[in-house]
Amino acid sequence: MVELRYVRHRYEGRVVLDFEQFGLPKNGTVALVGHNGAGKSTLLRLLALLEMPTEGHVLWNGTVVSNRARGALRSRVTLVEQRPVLFRGTVRENLQYGLRVRDIRHAAADGIIGDVVDKLGLAPLLTRRRNELSDGEVQRVAVARALVLRTDVLLLDEPASSADRAAAGALYRALAAERAERPFAVCIASHQLEDAYRWADDIRALAEGRLSPVTPENLFRVELAPAGTDTMSARVGAIDILVTTDRAGPAVLAVPPGDIFVSSAPLSSSARNVLKGRVTRIAAHRPGGGVAVTADVGVELVAIVTADAVRELALAPGVPVVFSFKASAVRVF
Amino acid sequence: MEFLAEGFRRAWSLLIAGDSEIFGIALLTLKVAVVATTIACAAGLPLGYFLATRRFWGRRAALTVVNTALAFPTVVVGLLLYGVLSRRGPLGGIGWLYTWQAIVLGDVLLALPVAAALSAAAVQGVDPRIRRTAETLGAGSWRTAWTVAREARFALAAVITAAFGQVVAEIGAALIVGGNIRGQTRTLTTAVALYTSQGDFGMALALGLVLLVLALLVNIALQALQGRGSG
């Protein structure tokens, strides 16, 4: 649907984004993870066609977007910024704003607004003004203001950062309901991965403006604490995972399933994480082939191995197994 | 003190009697001020928005020029305009020297920097997310500008008031390019200066009071506009 290729984007001479490709497929869902300042918001602004990359191209349905075409295409994509603002006026007037831009008024506008308002439970707020709303309510109204536009692409920057767990759940349910009626592409930049992972087709991590793929397996929200001269420790369920990072405090860990060595006994190696457990599940792995071996090693971890390895190690549910991986293999967001 | 009290008594009697000269001067002043403020704001407000929101080479220099022009002496503007409009000047052919149009031109030159500099500051004071949000919702340049202007309405109303104040209180340019011709280019400020120099303190005071009332009425009208709606 919309794609960025060979992008190098600068702000005041400083490179803030530098990657080869980022695509949001038609009707697809992509979650974008990364810490503050990683470049998520800038990437979303490029996807929203609000800015053009300093170097590289934006493609819309495979065609390079020119500066001239950008204006017309901008009405087919919308972005809800992190910490959104409402315009002067009531919630209803805010919801009408983008529809007026598109010359949709009166009964047609009321019908669309009513539908989205029901999904997001905003009916009691319609006559309120921005100074009468909480941060979480402003965020929900901002999402509704974007949803009523029925764009082909919806970009959400931390859409649930001001919402409590229940409100965040309602927001994601409303999005799912809307997509069930009318498919559209969604890209969500978020720290709150649990919700995004539940329905995202693809997850991309952004760090220092560079992108890397992330699989949704083996992701944990942790608290990092110093463990050695160059390692940090993270408590996950009943085990501690050692990580090479200079970060501390709250973080998200990803253990790439392809970086886990599976063996029947502990290996003598440089791997700092050696976890014993039993296989709980074996299944064919979706993208890229291989077999996904899930084991309970104090917490459920998934490793991707070849079918030959499964056969040689005689892996089956209930069989004892050892998962080993290096501290430097663990990704921290 | 007696002299002051006498001045006030005469001013009051002139106003009560509805002196036609005073009202003629007041009407001309109002006409000049409204036309000049409208032109200055019509050009200055978009210029201020442009300077506040667009990043371009020389922007800082442009802002410095506009801010410097705020303190431009009115008599110097009058003098330069006189040179331009005089018979031997580049625009001498249009015959505007000593007409009310010349006063409007001078006032526009003086009020334009006020409108541009203060509206740039007003727009810069609006949460930048407002403009970005309008763009994300598909608004074009004009609608985005209008949305930002709605958010800055209090500050922009103050800009219009300041521009009107600059125009209505201006005397240097009006005197030089208008010529203070009775019934044609005599405005409240030039008339006050004239009657004071002639020793008719009562007449000057009456005109001064009209000027004050005029400024007050415009301020009240703009405040009433500002007060409509909030949030």
pLDDT by residue (tens digit) across B30-64? 999 999 999 999 999 999 999 999 888 999 999 89
CB-CB under 8 Å, B136 with A81 = yes
Nearest-CA neighbor of B110 among B51, B66, B151?
B66
C-alpha A200/C-alpha A188 separation (Å) is 9
Nearest to B135 among A50, A85, A87 (CB): A50
CB-CB under 8 Å, A89 with B127 = no
Is residue B209 domain-resident? Answer: yes
Nearest-CA neighbor of A303 among A313, A314, A294, A316?
A294
Report the run of H or E that residue A70 belongs to, with start and end: helix A67-73
Of A195, A214, A233, which residue sits at a domain end?
A214
Say what the pLDDT of residue B227 is: 66
Residue B150 DSSP symbol: H
C-alpha B139/C-alpha A4 separation (Å) is 23
Q: How many domains are contained in chain A?
A: 2
pTM of the model: 0.74
What's the mean pLDDT in A117-121?
90
For residue A262, give the CATH number of its domain. Answer: 2.40.50.100
Q: Which chain B residues contact residue A12 at CB under 8 A?
A: none
pLDDT by residue (tens digit) across B146-190? 999 999 988 999 999 999 999 999 999 999 999 899 999 999 999
CB-CB under 8 Å, B143 with A80 = no
pLDDT by residue (tens digit) across B188-230? 999 999 999 998 888 898 899 989 988 898 888 878 877 664 4
Residue A70, pLDDT > 80, answer yes
Of A214, A246, A267, which residue sits at a domain end?
A214
Domain co-membership, A137 together with A248 = no
> To the nearest whole angstrom, how far is the Cα of A83 from the nearest Cα of chain B?
9
Nearest to B138 among A81, A98, A130 (CB): A98
Nearest to A74 among B138, B143, B150 (CB): B138
Is residue B158 domain-resident? Answer: yes
> To the nearest whole angstrom, how far is the Cα of B111 from the nearest Cα of chain A?
29
Domain co-membership, A166 together with A185 = yes
Domain co-membership, A133 together with A233 = no
CB-CB under 8 Å, A71 with B133 = no
Using CA atoms, how far residue A181 sits from A28, A171, A331, in Å, is 14, 16, 36
From A147, which residue of chain B is nearest by alpha-carbon distance? B137
Asked if this assembly's ipTM is beyond 0.85, the reply is: no
More confident residue, A228 or B115: B115
Show which residues on chain A lie within 8 Å of chain B, measured between beta carbons.
48, 50, 71, 74-75, 78-81, 83-85, 87-89, 97-98, 101-102, 129-132, 142, 145-146, 149
Domain co-membership, A209 together with A285 = no
Domain co-membership, A190 together with A79 = yes
CB-CB under 8 Å, A130 with B231 = yes
Domain co-membership, A74 together with A115 = yes
Question: Between the CA atoms of B83, B89, B92 and B97, what dihedral angle is there, to the nearest 10 degrees?
Answer: 10
Is residue B100 domain-resident? Answer: yes
CA angle B86-B114-B186, nearest 5°?
Answer: 45
> To the nearest whole angstrom, how far is the Cα of B65 from the nearest Cα of chain A?
24
Say what the pLDDT of residue B223 is: 80
For residue B88, give the CATH number of its domain. Answer: 1.10.3720.10
For residue A172, give the CATH number of its domain. Answer: 3.40.50.300
Say what the pLDDT of residue A57 is: 93
Of A165, A182, A214, which residue sits at a domain end?
A214
Range of the domain at A104: 2-214
Is residue B231 domain-resident? Answer: no
Share of chain B above pLDDT 70, in %: 97
C-alpha B104/C-alpha B37 separation (Å) is 9
Q: Which chain A residues contact residue B126 at CB under 8 A?
A: none
Say what the pLDDT of residue A194 is: 58
Is residue B42 domain-resident? Answer: yes
Domain co-membership, A109 together with A140 = yes
Domain co-membership, A164 together with A297 = no
Domain co-membership, A121 together with A270 = no
Nearest to A81 among B132, B229, B230 (CB): B132
Q: How confident is the model at residue A246 (pLDDT cuts 50, 70, 90)?
A: confident
Domain co-membership, A195 together with A238 = no
Nearest to B136 among A50, A83, A89 (CB): A50
Share of chain A above pLDDT 90, in %: 52
Nearest to B136 among A78, A131, A132 (CB): A78
> To the nearest whole angstrom, how far is the Cα of A256 from the nearest Cα of chain B?
35
Q: How confident is the model at residue B107 (pLDDT cuts 50, 70, 90)?
A: very high
Which residues 127-146 in chain B show a CB within 8 A of chain A?
A: 127, 129-130, 132-140, 143
Q: How many domains are contained in chain B?
A: 1
Q: Which chain A residues contact residue B129 at CB under 8 A?
A: 81, 83-85
Domain co-membership, A165 together with A252 = no
CB-CB under 8 Å, A81 with B138 = no
Residue A175, pLDDT > 80, answer yes
pLDDT by residue (tens digit) across A139-168? 999 999 999 999 999 999 988 776 666 777
Q: How confident is the model at residue B109 (pLDDT cuts 50, 70, 90)?
A: very high
Range of the domain at B35: 2-226
Nearest-CA neighbor of A70 among A41, A45, A95, A103?
A45
Nearest to A101 among B129, B137, B151 (CB): B137
Domain co-membership, A91 together with A233 = no
